[in-house]
Amino acid sequence: MKPVFSRITGTGSFLPPRRLSNHDMATMLAERGLETSDEWIVERTGIRFRHFAADGVNASDLALPACQAALAAAGRQAEDVDLIIVATSTPDMVFPSTATLLQNKLGVHGCAAFDVQAVCSGFVYALTVADAMIKTGGASCALVVGAEVFSRILDFNDRTTCVLFGDGAGAVVLEASAEPGILASDLHADGRHSDILCTPGTVAGGQVVGSPLLRMDGQAVFKLAVGVLEQAARNVLERAGRPPESLHWLVPHQANIRIMMATAKKLKLAPDRLVATVAEHGNTSAASVPLALDVAVRDGRIRRGDSVMLEGVGGGFTWGAVLLDF
Ligand code: ACO
């Protein structure tokens, strides 16, 4: 019997049409008596634009066109899918899962569908779970999705966080294959740091108890992120028996260009091997890695057979990496 690998056969993404520049954010904040500027945001983060979903548009609504594009790229129909995993921290509802709502919107029924909650590492976690299910025969054609509406949980009275995030969705079709594929994964979490990046509110007694808005200690996140991203990348390379110089592309979580450049530098990767979409998308949490991957596939940078490192880091604190041959 041939060994079973899992391989990405199609990518897709979707951004809601409302696009806000840093100038738009500065105007919005000025109305609240807060000051920010294009210069501050670009210099500290590399972000120039972000997209916000319209009222009533949920994570599953953004995920649907991303999945349809990924299915078309893979030459697959929704009926071919036997597993749907959605990584999100901004689900449509407390329950059922966004994955089941997405399944219904795709017009298919019966296949396994569930959400993964690992904040900005969510897509890397979801991809690793789908890979394991395919390798053990539990699925053969999976939709792995990152979809977020972070605009819903932003505190527009907190200039230190609200300028950083945006909404969007990205998806891949992951299929059983005789050829690799995903080569190695490395996932981690450290709950001791759960308070440096969180949305602490919960629902109890028919009310939201605690703040339903995101809060972050940016400097604490920054310091942790650079170290763990380098380590996770080295772990997967070692597991796959590949040297860092064999990498064609690094597609990290798109939070801050300085974190991404620092990671590339530590891996001695030339800056043009880094896929960076943070300027255009802002930080879309679990959607950021599949969004960036889809951009680089569609503009022709990432080609079949290229060695690609995906990396996530975020709330939890969580982090991880997946090494694959595209
Ligand atoms: N506009 C103008 N000034 C601002 C703004 C703003 N939007 N936000 C903060 N400032 C001010 C602060 O008040 C502070 O002023 P002060 O010196 O008078 O007190 C000054 O700018 C510097 O603030 P710092 O917080 O020290 O700025 P820093 O250089 O650390 O940059 C940032 C902040 C961009 C958040 C950075 O720490 C960072 O990127 N951290 C990592 C965040 C991250 O990666 N998050 C995502 C990972 S997980 C996930 O995606 C969910």
- Planar angle of CA 157, 163, 168, nearest 5 degrees: 120
How many angstroms does the Cα of residue 36 sit away from the middle of ligand 1?
A: 11
Would you tell me how many other CB atoms lie within 10 Å of the CB of residue 74? 21
Residue 129 CA to residue 31 CA, distance in Å, equals: 44
pLDDT of the residue at 168: 98
Token pair, residue 21, equals 């520049």
3 has a pLDDT exceeding 90: no
2 has a pLDDT exceeding 70: no
Q: Of the residues 32, 34, 125, 219, which should be mutated to test ligand 1's pocket, given the most ligand atoms within 8 Å of the CB?
A: 219
pLDDT, tens digit, for every residue of 120-141?
999 999 999 999 999 999 999 9
For range 143-171, the mean pLDDT: 98
Beta bridge partners of 186: 321
For range 37-41, the mean pLDDT: 98
pLDDT of the residue at 206: 94
Question: For atom 48 of ligand 1, which residue has the closest CA?
Answer: 314
* Banded pLDDT at 211 (limits 50, 70, 90): very high
Q: Which amino acid is at 190?
A: D
pLDDT, tens digit, for every residue of 166-184?
999 999 999 999 999 999 9
How many angstroms does the Cα of residue 160 sit away from the middle of ligand 1?
A: 5
Q: Which amino acid is at 29?
A: L
How many angstroms does the Cα of residue 21 sit away from the middle of ligand 1?
A: 18
Compute the CA torsion angle 91, 129, 249, 12 (nearest 10 deg). -50
Q: Which of these, 130, 325, 121, 174, lies nearest to 242 by C-alpha position?
A: 325
Pocket around ligand 1: residues whose beta carbon is below 6 Å from it?
36, 40, 44-45, 119-120, 159-160, 163, 197, 218-219, 221-222, 225, 255-256, 259, 283, 285, 314-315
Beta bridge partners of 323: 184, 309
CB contact at 8 A, 129 and 111:
no
Residue 39 CA to residue 124 CA, distance in Å, equals: 32
CB contact at 8 A, 144 and 174:
yes
Would you tell me how many other CB atoms lie within 10 Å of the CB of residue 35? 9
Place of tokens 């806000």: 20
For range 263-282, the mean pLDDT: 96
Would you tell me how many other CB atoms lie within 10 Å of the CB of residue 55? 7
What pTM was estimated for this model as a whole?
0.96
Active site residue ranges: 120, 253, 283
CB contact at 8 A, 62 and 101:
no
* 213: CB partners within 8 A, 6+ apart: 153, 154, 155, 158, 199, 201
How many angstroms does the Cα of residue 210 sit away from the middle of ligand 1?
A: 23
pLDDT of the residue at 1: 54
